[in-house]
A = this chain, B = another copy of it.
Amino acid sequence: DRTAAHVERAVSDWITLNVGGKHFTTSRATLLGKEPLSMLARMFADDKNVYLMNPSAVDSTGAYLIDRSPEYFEPILNYLRHGNVILDKHMNPRGVLEEAVFYGIDSMIPQLNKLIEESHNSSGSNQALT
């Protein structure tokens, strides 16, 4: 039955990630579309001809476990959805940079570095140290 197969495939395209204890629901298309060669994309690629990373473990609800910050993952996922780097004012751009480097979303990095530079020029207090 072609309809059933179609529905089944559509459902399997929804993916829930458990990032550090918080659930994010997205689609395989979002994870793969913007940066197909990133580590995050390769974790969920379904092309059997390319090298696949080991699939992550899942929690009791079936969400894929990722041992990273949930807060700083949010602007990463939004970037994969619409292509813009958007951070709220209280958010430390260095936290997002750590995640972009970890997930291999390289096209975010120059923009995050520019945000970090700008925030050093303004108040200077409560900035992160390395």
Chain A residues engaging chain B, CB cutoff 8 angstroms? 10-11, 14, 16, 18, 20-27, 30, 57, 59-61, 65, 67-69, 71-72, 74, 77-78, 81-82, 84-95, 98, 102, 111, 114-115, 118-119, 121-130
Contact = CB atoms under 8 A, between A and B. Distances in A.
Contact of A84 (B10, B77, B130): B130
Q: Among A27, A89, A102, A119, which residue has the most Cβ atoms of chain B within 10 A?
A: A89
B57 A14 contact: yes
A96 to B, nearest CB: 9
A78 to B, nearest CB: 5
Contacts of A81: 67-69
A124 to B, nearest CB: 7
Contacts of A77: 20, 69
Given A65-B25, A114-B129, A11 B88 contact: no
